[in-house]
Amino acid sequence: MTTTAPPWRARCRAGHRLPAAGEKADVRAPNVWTRGRVPAACAVLTAGLLTFHRAVPNSVGRLGSLLEAFLPWLGLMVVALFGLALLRRSVTVLAALLLPTAAWTHLLGGLLLPGVKPGTHDLVVVQHNVSDENPDPAGTALALIDADPDLIALQELVPPALPVYEKTLAPAYPYHAVRGTVGLWSKHPLTDARVLDVKPREVAGPWSRGLRAVVHTPHREIAAYVAHLPSVRVRASGLASAWRDESAGLLGEAIAVEKVKTVILLGDLNGTVDDRALAPLTSRMNVAERGFALSFPAAFPLARIDQVMARSAKVRHLRTLSATGSDHLPVAARITLH
C-alpha cells in the first residue's frame, strides 16, 4: 500500500521550514517564473521611459528635458536589473529585460558602431568651450591644433585670453572671426562674418554669443554657425532652462532662412540632441551618426552638450579629445559633404 506525502513534507525535503503550530502551509513556493515581479516591473518602466520619453511632460519642472539630458544612463538600470535577475534566478526579470535592451539599442546603439572610412569630401571640425577661467589658453590652442581640423569653434573667449588664442592659432589657421565671446578659426577663407542674435529677451546688457560666417572650402561654400546657448540649472523645482530654450528657437529660425545650402553648426548648446528643447535645431539638421562623445563635465563626463550638426551634410563620427584647462572636453567631428 502506497501513500502520498503531504505537501509540507515535500517542502521540508526541498529545504523549506515546517509550518508552525496553527500556521497554514503555503504550497505555492516562488520559482524562476514567479519571483522578481518588482524588478520585472522596473524593467518595463525603463523600456517605457526610453521608448516614450517624449510623453514625459515638461509642464512641471521640465522633467521631460531633464530625463532626455541623461537618457543614455538608463542603460545602467538595465545592467543593474540584469545582475539582480541572475542573483534571484528569475526568468521573469530576464524576459522583461528584453524590452529596455531593445529600446536602448534602437535609440542609442548606433552611436556605438565604428565610424565609416573617411571620404574624399570630408571636413574635420573641432568644437570647444575653452572656459573663461582656463589657466592655459596657449596649451589649449596647441591641443586643438594637434587634431588637425579644418575649422575650430571656440566659446567663452574673454579679453585677456583672446590674444593668446589668436597668436597660437594663427600659423595653422590664418582666417578667423570673433564676435563677442565666440570665435571661428579656419584653414579656408572666411567672408560675411557677422553677429548672430540669439539673445533671450530678458537678458539685459551686452550679450553676444553667436557668430555666422561663410567658409570657402575647396568643395563648396559652407555657412558656419558658432553659438553658445545660455546655461541650464538643475534645482529642487526641476530644470531651469527657459533662456536656453528661447535662444535655441532663435538659432533655429536663423538657420531656417539661411540661403547657403550647406550649414555646419558648432556650439556649446547646453543640451543633448535628445532634449526636445533643441528640436528647433535637430528637426532641421543632421546629428552625429557615430560616437557618444560625452563632453561635460570634463572630470567625469555625464552628457554631450557640445554639439556639431549639419544641413546638406552628414556628421559621420564624433569623438572627444584630451582634456584641456577647460571644464568641457573638446569634441572633434568628421563631416561628409553631400
Contact 182/209 with Cβ under 8 angstroms? yes
Q: Is the pLDDT of residue 172 over 80?
A: yes
Query: 112-121, 145-154, 326-335: which has the minimum mean pLDDT?
Result: 112-121
User: What is residue 14's predicted lDDT score, i.e. its pLDDT?
Assistant: 44
Q: Is the pLDDT of residue 37 over 90?
A: no
User: Residue 245: what are its φ and ψ, rounded to 5°?
Assistant: -65, -40
pLDDT in tens, 142-163: 999 999 999 999 999 999 999 9
User: What is residue 257's predicted lDDT score, i.e. its pLDDT?
Assistant: 97
Domain ranges of the chain: 37-111, 114-337
> How would CATH label the architecture of 114-337?
4-Layer Sandwich (3.60)
User: What is residue 267's predicted lDDT score, i.e. its pLDDT?
Assistant: 98
Q: What are the start-end ranges of the E strands in 174-220?
A: 175-179, 182-186, 190-195, 210-216
The arithmetic mean of pLDDT across residues 269-279, rounded, is: 96
Query: 23-32, 51-60, 91-100, 239-248: which has the minimum mean pLDDT?
Result: 23-32
The arithmetic mean of pLDDT across residues 285-297, rounded, is: 95
CA angle 229, 141, 287 (to 5 degrees): 40
The arithmetic mean of pLDDT across residues 31-38, rounded, is: 70
What does the longest C-alpha to C-alpha distance in the chain come to? 103
Contact 248/271 with Cβ under 8 angstroms? yes
For the CA atoms of 213, 216, 219, 222, the dihedral, rounded to the nearest 10 degrees, stands at 10
pLDDT in tens, 179-204: 999 999 999 999 999 999 999 999 98
User: What is residue 334's predicted lDDT score, i.e. its pLDDT?
Assistant: 95
pLDDT in tens, 79-101: 999 998 898 888 889 999 999 99
Q: Is the pLDDT of residue 4 over 90?
A: no
pLDDT in tens, 209-263: 999 999 999 999 999 999 999 999 887 777 889 999 999 999 999 999 999 999 9
Q: Is the pLDDT of residue 112 over 70?
A: yes
